[in-house]
Chains A and B, each alone.
Chain A
Amino acid sequence: MAKVGVVGIGHTKFGNLSEFDLGDIMAYAATDALEDAGFLEKRKEIDQVIVGNMASGLFCHQSAVASSVISKMDMEPVPAELVENGPASGASAIKIGYMAVASGMADIVLVIAGEVMRKVTGWTGTEYVATMLHPQAEYDMGLTLPGFGGMFTRMYMEKYGLTERDLALLAVKNHANGAKNKYAHIQAECTIEAIADGPEANVVNTYVAEPLRMYSTCPVSDGAAALLLVNMDSPKAKLFSKKPIRIAGIASATDTHCVHNRKDPLKLDAVRIAGEKAYAMAGLTPKDISFAELHDAFSILELAISEEVGFFERGKSFLAVRKGETEIDGRLPINTSGGLKSKGHPVGATGVSQAVELVRQLRGEAEEGRQVRDPKYGMAVNFGGFGNNVVAMIFAKE
């Protein structure tokens, strides 16, 4: 299998971009990636474009976005297809791009992912996102993703003794990182006093899906991100000035569509298996990972995912958070970008956004104050559905 590396990254600022066209913001991020790679003029030499998006049909009343992006970038006749895998669409697009290069079918692949969610109101958006649930057994009941986030959090709390304050600590940590990230949706810190300890915290940090509060839930964001992949073994790799960041491992796994059908609903098997496969592919273990981007659409997921991929023992991750081990200068920094909580979560874009963060950190290009010291390997987990389709990625500094 050919070695696959990232030679260009692009990212829009996340936030409310609802006045813009989805294709435009995807093209913007992709153009950023081409410029970063010094390949803008040669873009028609790209063998394949893979676009990741979850629900442009619902949010923007638009289909076939891959064709739209190609046209906006004047890239015809480069082949382009769309990959959809719920909120893991972005990482799935990278995985398909990886497969194209590794198989030898393509040498240079542009992966673009984006989502515009804020053209509709928040509650309509919540409704659209809920369409990824089981249509009859979950969606029809009126359930939403935050609903499952709340029920999962309660199970975890009752089994392991996690508190709401522990979840607030994650928000404080992630906002501290996001405040320094030029791409983050919410570039502002929050304080433990305001969201957990103070007399007004109960109202200021209001419940969303008990016991999850507003500051344990990601915002609704728009945005796009892009990566340029190259076959590192091909002579074409020499076309790029920047040293590639190698994709050492990338794998995905699935789990039951209905959360209630999991033997132990507290176990996220798809995360564990995707992680194990990615480690095996990279020849690494959890101990080798220098930092990670974990899909904290709800803060509880940062904890649960960090346990499933072997960073911490089951039920112990929040103890490490209390000790500051996952802060930017801790033993294993997690969500250095601010995570979904602070950076934002334009559903289809998130996986590629996580990958961009891995590359920025491994290149040493993160902003001052949130650059991890000399990282070797970064891991990202992009979580689809409520854990029913998950992608894990490990990037390596060569």
Chain B
Amino acid sequence: MIDFSMYDFKEPEIMAYKCEKCGTLYYPAPMICGKCHSRRDPVSDAHWETFALKGPCTLLTWTRLWNLPEGYNKKYLLFGIVQFDNGLRASGRLETDNPVTGMPLVATVVSSDERPGKPVNVFVFKEAE
């Protein structure tokens, strides 16, 4: 039977990984756990827990990038690196008028089709409401 749910709209998500054997968290996905050396099978993800990486985080550093690569028809974009409460870090877009290192943010995910090819999921870090 065809799984018609594949045509449903899905909220874009970016997944983080947890090694079930030793509990170490990863983003992006590793192929071997750096702590207990468990392998990850990228097809089944067996013995690895996956979860959406999102929510409250803190800004570690940022830049306003003026010379954007092909596809981004904007004057500039802000980018930042954030740290989540669980210790994981991520790089992505930043949407705030007045970025300050150390500010609390909320990580959201959007689907971007700015570049040619399949749309990709992109982190957008925003100010907490």
Contact = CB atoms under 8 A, between A and B. Distances in A.
Contacts of A150: 63-65, 79
Contact of A151 (B28, B62, B121): B62
Contact of A154 (B61, B70, B92, B123): B61
14 contacts: A127-B70, A136-B120, A138-B91, A140-B112, A141-B79, A144-B65, A146-B65, A151-B62, A152-B61, A154-B101, A155-B61, A210-B63, A210-B64, A260-B81
Given A150-B63, A151-B63, A210-B63, A142 B69 contact: yes
Interface of A: 121-124, 126-127, 130, 134, 136-138, 140-144, 146-147, 150-155, 158, 206-212, 258-261, 265
A283 to B, nearest CB: 33
B63 A158 contact: no
Contacts of B68: 123, 126, 142, 144
Interface residues of B, number: 31
B69 A126 contact: yes
Contacts of B80: 151
B122 A259 contact: no
A146 B68 CA distance: 10
> Does more than half of chain B's interface fall in helix, strand or loop, or is it mixed?
strand
Contacts, number: 106
A141 B61 CA distance: 16
B39 to A, nearest CB: 18
B121 A260 contact: no
Contact of A146 (B67, B93, B112, B122): B67
A151 B81 contact: yes
B115 to A, nearest CB: 8
Main secondary structure of the interface of A (DSSP, over half): helix
A21 B72 CA distance: 30
Contact of A140 (B60, B72, B79, B122): B122
Contacts of B89: 260-261
Candidate in A143, A152, A206 with the most chain B CB atoms within 10 angstroms: A143
A265 B64 CA distance: 19
Most buried by B among A126, A138, A142: A142
A142 B112 contact: yes
Given A151-B79, A265-B60, A209 B93 contact: no
A362 B120 CA distance: 50
Q: Which of B67, B69, B79 has the most CB of A within 10 A?
A: B69
A259 B81 contact: yes
Contact of A141 (B66, B91, B101): B91
